[in-house]
Structure 1
Amino acid sequence: MDMTSRTDLTAAKPSQVSIELAATERVIQRAAYRAGVLACYGLAVLLTANFYGLVVRQMLNLIAPGVQSSLGISDLQIGMLQGLGMAVFACIASFPMGWLADRYGHRLLLAIGVGIWSLATFLYALQDSFGGLFAGTVGIAIGEAGLVPIIYAMIPDLFPQNRRNTANLIFYGGSLFGAGIGMALGGAILEWLAASPGSLPQWLSGVDSWRIAMVVIALPGPLLFLLVATMPLASHAPPVHATQNGDAGEMLGFASYAQTHWRTLACVCGSIFAIAVAMTSALIWFPIALPRAFGIDPATVGLGLGTAVTAATLIGVFLPGIALKFGRRGGLTAIKATSFFLWLTPLPAIFLPFVNSPFQAYMVAALQGAMGVAGSALMPGIFQDLAPSALRARVMTLLGVANALALAASPLAVGMISTLMSGPRGMLYSIAIVSIPSLLAAAVLMSLAQRPYAATVRAVRSRFAGEEA
């Protein structure tokens, strides 16, 4: 065989370098697949933790009549349990929980939170006084205070940037549907206890059904604690050296960060507060306004409004993903998409004072809700981008605080205006008077946020530019 033939044979054989490159590529692909599977498993655990928290919260509402009948507490005391006990203490505890999560680990604090509210749920069932119930409610509120902020802070630890919005939308949609499923599950448990007293063990005879229900939903707590505590984290965030070393540097100190980027935080948080005021006003007062305006049965309103809200949720959750997918080439970012949807949200609300039938009111609710959900669904991703990794849980708590303040303010605002309105349509006018300016304010603030937001994101990314993979 001549030299030329040998050269040709040698060239035809794959080189050692090519073999090594192919093997390395297979290893990388397997590692990426494994990371994706672990990330999806982690998201499933986070969805389960959030759903469990929603079931507990919905059960507190469902057992209120039984608690009143059993212990003889007043409507005012029930209101204190649902409002002061839950909303106020959850708001107060959210930032300390966020600080602890940033300091000692998001997974650890989320697991501790699950443990706290599971234990508080169990202890709630053992109480015989308003003071004991209030203490149990506060325990549940403290345990749940960091739930959503910490989960949104953990999503960047599970998913890379190009998959983060998808994970956020899945969790956001799961939260919306989970609230309804949690209500249905809690109602089913109470109905089963009421219909099957003879099927319970003898030692439970005579025990109030609300106590048994609270114990039942507390039982999965230890298992969920273990799932959260052991869930894998494939961090895609830059390392948090300063927090681990106790260095509250210029960029990593929350007060310094908030002072430097106050325009961004004020605009974004103000927009969240405004959209939440409008959406809460509609959800809370529509079931009262429509029977007054059209003389229909509240059960009919529940069916029609529930259908409208479900449709709005489905549409609103999918719209942002579609918009970002097809608008990416045109430079559409999450904050621009959010601003676009928020500008559309006031349009259906303008027609609310002029509706002539329940169907028209449901259509207004569905269209306004779909645009509002579409705008709100991208908010967590906006916060994730503007927050340094060392402060992410604390920054995410601002999202919860803004929503909690809106939940406290919107019913009061509509109720005060409604007292000044006469006639059966007065409540509809009151909802419109509160909602339309709030929706416009949300859109204006989100538009004003775009320039300072871009500056904040650049500052955060440049701070960790040398550490990012």
Structure 2
Amino acid sequence: MSATSPSAISVVNPADVGVAGGASALEALPWRGLFTVLFLGVTAGIQMSDRGLQAVLSPAIQQAFAVSDAAIGAMHGVAGILIASALAVPLARLADRHSRKGMLLALIAVWTALTGVSAMASSFPLYFATRAALGVSEFAMIPVVYSLIPDLVGERFRVGANLSFAALMATGASAGFYGGGALLDFAQELGGAVSGGAGGGALASWRLAIVVLGAAGIPLFLAGLLTWDPPRGIARAEAAEERGALSAFVRTHGRDLLLFVGAAGGLAIAVQALTPMIALALGRRYGADLTAIGHALGVILLVTNLSSLPLAGTLDRVLRRHLGARARPAVMAAGAALSMPCALALSSAGDARPALALVAGFLLLTCIANALIPTLLQDLLPPTIRARCFAIYSFVIAAFCSLGPVLSGAVSDRWMGGDLLGAIAAVSVPALMLTVLCAGLQVARRADRPDRPV
């Protein structure tokens, strides 16, 4: 579906209609919609910081429950990604039919409650289960937001709103790493004052750190009551015609979708093999302080994610003049190929500083490769099934994401004698090769069809 087709045109803020002497509403700044995008980005960022915090807390969690690297990898991958994204699909279907604002408020409330519940888990299986339930509220929010954005800001501001939302999520993810050590120290002091000690009980410092983060959901819920719930950008007559759009979309773009999922999936495996496990890996290899590692990783995540967004936008504008729709898979292939040397060198880094530099290069290149995916999907999807399709896509990619930490943990335990850095490299490089292959085939398939969507 073209981005300029009637069913893809977003409903704009009625308050902006008629400004500037009758100018089009798409030419005016949709302030109410932009405020809502800002709120949603901050909310998703705080939720994403929970994932960074979990990575920093992994050594303490592993010690408290006496579990292996593979179990920690499964916590990050299977519980935190795969199960969560699968259960998010029916919730996104509800968002396609009912109030998206109501759905988002419910997700914030559930996230806040489940964060506290997970912190009090008495065993690893219970903690695993509660983390999976918590992840549902995080995963379900993202497709609903990407469904809302075109209806909040209109076509003119859609790409900027998408990238801004991604930037706020990235900022939150980096904050979880950067502030995780400080939050853990604060919780340790608080736990000592309340109970006289830490350890594995209900007042352990890592548990209190999770509770403190979850408490941020209370003001978020209250602020969410002030946001705008726009009408969907589609007429009622068009809705009936597009009920079969999902199956028709898959039939029409089946081969290209398979190659696209393969390319995106390879990137997902590689990135998730590294991100949730890297703090544990660096601490084990170099004996570095977890607070210092968390600060460094927080800065790296923030800088690489935020800098990748304008870089990706610029590459898209420049390359599409020459390559048309081939530009985006070309960027994916190039980013994956250039990040492979970083992953290969990671296992042989002499100390923590060069290892962190390699992590920064790896993340910057893979972030550029991933940045334009939401805009691409919005171009193709009918508004009546947009949230559902984003959720389905998220689940498919989550299946790949879950493989990353699971494989790196299993390879470390079974074949590399606990060398987690080496295991990360061993998992990442083949996954990146899959991305290069699939994205390269996409470019080749579009050699004679430069204007066809990816």
Q: Same fold (TM over 0.5)?
A: yes
**Paired AA for residue 273 in structure 2:** S
CA contact (8 A) 2:77 2:405 kept: no
CA deviation after TM superposition for structure 1 residue 100, in Å: 1.0
The aligned residue for residue 410 of structure 1 is 404
In structure 2, relative to structure 1, the CA distance for the partners of 1:31 and 1:152 (3 Å cut) is closer
CA contact (8 A) 2:343 2:362 kept: no
Percent identity, aligned pairs only?
22
1:108 aligns with 2:108: no
Unaligned runs of 5+ in 2: 1-16
Residues 131-190 of structure 1: CA deviation (Å, up to 9, x unaligned): 654553343123223111111221111222232222212222222221121234444333
SS at match of 2:397: helix
Distance (Å, rounded) in 2 between the aligned partners of 1:285 and 1:190: 18
Alignment of 1:348-387 (within 5 A): 348-350=339-341, 353=344, 358=350, 364-387=358-381
In structure 2, relative to structure 1, the CA distance for the partners of 1:40 and 1:445 (3 Å cut) is farther
The aligned residue for residue 203 of structure 2 is 208
1:342 aligns with 2:342: no
1:170 aligns with 2:161: no
In structure 2, relative to structure 1, the CA distance for the partners of 1:364 and 1:346 (3 Å cut) is farther
CA contact (8 A) 2:263 2:436 kept: no
Alignment of 1:434-445 (within 5 A): 434-445=430-441
SS at match of 1:345: helix
**Paired AA for residue 51 in structure 1:** G
CA contact (8 A) 2:342 2:359 kept: no
Unaligned runs of 5+ in 1: 1-22, 458-469
CA deviation after TM superposition for structure 1 residue 442, in Å: 4.4
CA contact (8 A) 2:55 2:277 kept: no
**Paired AA for residue 227 in structure 1:** A
CA deviation after TM superposition for structure 1 residue 401, in Å: 2.0
**Paired AA for residue 99 in structure 2:** G
Which has the bigger relative contact order, CA under 8 A and spacing at least 6? 2
Alignment equivalent of 1:261, drawn from 253, 260, 279: 253
The aligned residue for residue 119 of structure 1 is 113
**Paired AA for residue 258 in structure 2:** A
The aligned residue for residue 13 of structure 2 is none
| Cα RMSD, aligned residues only | 4.3
The aligned residue for residue 315 of structure 1 is 307
Residues 201-245 of structure 1: CA deviation (Å, up to 9, x unaligned): 99xxx96155544443343434423433541145683346565xx
CA deviation after TM superposition for structure 1 residue 121, in Å: 2.2
The aligned residue for residue 10 of structure 2 is none
CA deviation after TM superposition for structure 1 residue 109, in Å: 1.8
The aligned residue for residue 12 of structure 2 is none
SS at match of 2:257: helix
Residues 359-398 of structure 1: CA deviation (Å, up to 9, x unaligned): 7665554444323211201011011111111111111124
Alignment of 1:321-340 (within 5 A): 321-326=313-318, 330=321, 336-340=327-331
Distance (Å, rounded) in 2 between the aligned partners of 1:175 and 1:95: 20
SS at match of 1:161: coil
Residues 16-57 of structure 1: CA deviation (Å, up to 9, x unaligned): xxxxxxx96635459668752112201111112102312344
Distance (Å, rounded) in 2 between the aligned partners of 1:130 and 1:367: 34
Structure 1 length-normalised TM = 0.73
1:277 aligns with 2:269: yes
**Paired AA for residue 86 in structure 2:** I
1:151 aligns with 2:142: no
**Paired AA for residue 155 in structure 1:** I
Distance (Å, rounded) in 2 between the aligned partners of 1:229 and 1:57: 25
Distance (Å, rounded) in 2 between the aligned partners of 1:421 and 1:212: 34
* Matched pairs, number: 423
